[in-house]
Amino acid sequence: MILRVSALFVFCLFVMPLCGFNCSRTDVVTLTPWLAPVVWEGTFNPDLLDSIYQQQDISVAATVFAVGKYIMFLKNFLETAEEYFFVGFKVHIYVFTDRPDEVPQVKMAPGRQLTVLPVPSSNRWQEISARRMELIQKLIEERLQGHGKYIFCLDVDSKFHGRWGTESLGGLVAVIHPGYYWDPRSNFPYERRPQSRAYVAEEEGDFYYCGGAFGGSLEEVLLLAKTCRSNFEADAKEGIEAAWQEESHLNRYMWINKPSKVLSPEYLWQDFKSRNSEIHIIRFSGVVKNYAEIRPN
């Protein structure tokens, strides 16, 4: 009896604060039915996680596309990434753009670097968004193999407001779309035509995930990019473009290949939306933009 009480005492005093038992959430889903964590503020200990990954000497790559007028968003993206994205870790940002001369100079901390990769311009925004998978595949195959371990692929018309760090690392990582997380599955804007390779049937699907932020290990993201690219191209040969381009293919992929970590909408909020009470912090959000002004068509 004495042994049991003192074991409980030790557990409460030392283990609980470390492992996060004192920081749980009951107002939101924090575990998927396939046992992947759903990361919300208050469900993890950032210092503990950082200390674990510091020992592993990890590095994180990030891709961002700034084609045509979207270059205007890059400065804010890069400056806020310096403040909040994997601070204290090695970070390599790859900017794909058709306007390399307009890439802003942003002072980066030691251990952080930026590489500009030129891409052709395009007359269709859908094509720019969709070609990202192909370019991410090539980047991993041609430049990243053996360099670093993790990668995140992010929309440029966004900025960081709060920590995005080691709590987000995992094999395959998806972000729940802020527009649909309270909705029934039937409202999710999946591709619903069976002839598309992005098809998700009415009774299928877990969450609706964002195309604007996803990531994981280099191996997993390479598989994802390859699959989404080849499905997208096979659809295109048959004259089909999925409802939300590569976002639809990504959602199909995540239904079949369950993410090992799911990030809450804190990791990609939308500035035009008012903040709901369960959102204790906004870490990254899409800025308000005038589509008619910035898209090529």
The encoded tokens of residue 151 equal 């990668």
The encoded tokens of residue 294 equal 């910035």
Question: Which amino acid is it at 187?
Answer: N
Residue 244 makes contact with ligand UD2 by CB under 6 A: yes
Q: Which helix (H) or strand (E) holds 248?
A: helix 245-256
Which residue in 36, 61, 62, 67 binds ligand UD2 (CB under 6 A)? 67
| 76: helix, strand or coil | helix
CB nearer ligand UD2, residue 144 or residue 210? 210
Residue 125 makes contact with ligand UD2 by CB under 6 A: yes
CB nearer ligand UD2, residue 120 or residue 146? 120
Residue 266 makes contact with ligand UD2 by CB under 6 A: no
* Pairing between β-strand 261-263 and β-strand 38-39 as defined by DSSP bridges: parallel
Residue 66 makes contact with ligand UD2 by CB under 6 A: yes
Residue 216 makes contact with ligand UD2 by CB under 6 A: no
Segment near ligand UD2 (CB under 6 A); pick from 18-26, 138-146, 183-191, 238-246? 238-246
Segment near ligand UD2 (CB under 6 A); pick from 14-22, 63-71, 200-208, 230-238? 63-71
For the annotated catalytic residues, the residue numbers are 247
Q: Using CA atoms, how far apart are residues 119 and 137, in angstroms rounded to an integer?
A: 14
Q: Using CA atoms, how far apart are residues 93 and 102, in angstroms rounded to an integer?
A: 16
Spatial contact of 169 and 261, defined as CB atoms under 8 Å apart: yes
Residue 156 makes contact with ligand UD2 by CB under 6 A: yes
Residue 37 makes contact with ligand UD2 by CB under 6 A: no
Residues in 184-213 at the binding interface with ligand UD2, rule: CB under 6 A = 210-212
- Is 106 labelled as part of a ligand binding site? no
Query: Cβ contacts of residue 127 below 8 Å, gap of 6+?
Result: none
Query: Cβ contacts of residue 212 below 8 Å, gap of 6+?
Result: 154, 155, 158, 175, 247, 268, 286
- Is 247 labelled as part of a ligand binding site? yes
Paired strand residues for 62 = 93, 152
* Pairing between β-strand 209-217 and β-strand 158-160 as defined by DSSP bridges: unpaired
Shortest approach of ligand UD2 to residue 66 CB, angstroms? Answer: 5
- Is 57 labelled as part of a ligand binding site? no
Residue 242 makes contact with ligand UD2 by CB under 6 A: no
Shortest approach of ligand UD2 to residue 157 CB, angstroms? Answer: 4
Which residue in 40, 53, 65, 208 binds ligand UD2 (CB under 6 A)? 65
Q: Using CA atoms, how far apart are residues 76 and 73, in angstroms rounded to an integer?
A: 6
170, HSE (Cβ side, Cα atoms, 13 Å): 18
Which residue in 70, 150, 164, 269 binds ligand UD2 (CB under 6 A)? 70
Spatial contact of 75 and 103, defined as CB atoms under 8 Å apart: no
CB nearer ligand UD2, residue 158 or residue 260? 158
Catalog residues that contact ligand UD2 under the rule CB under 6 A. 65-68, 70, 125, 128-129, 155-157, 210-212, 244-247, 268, 286, 295-296
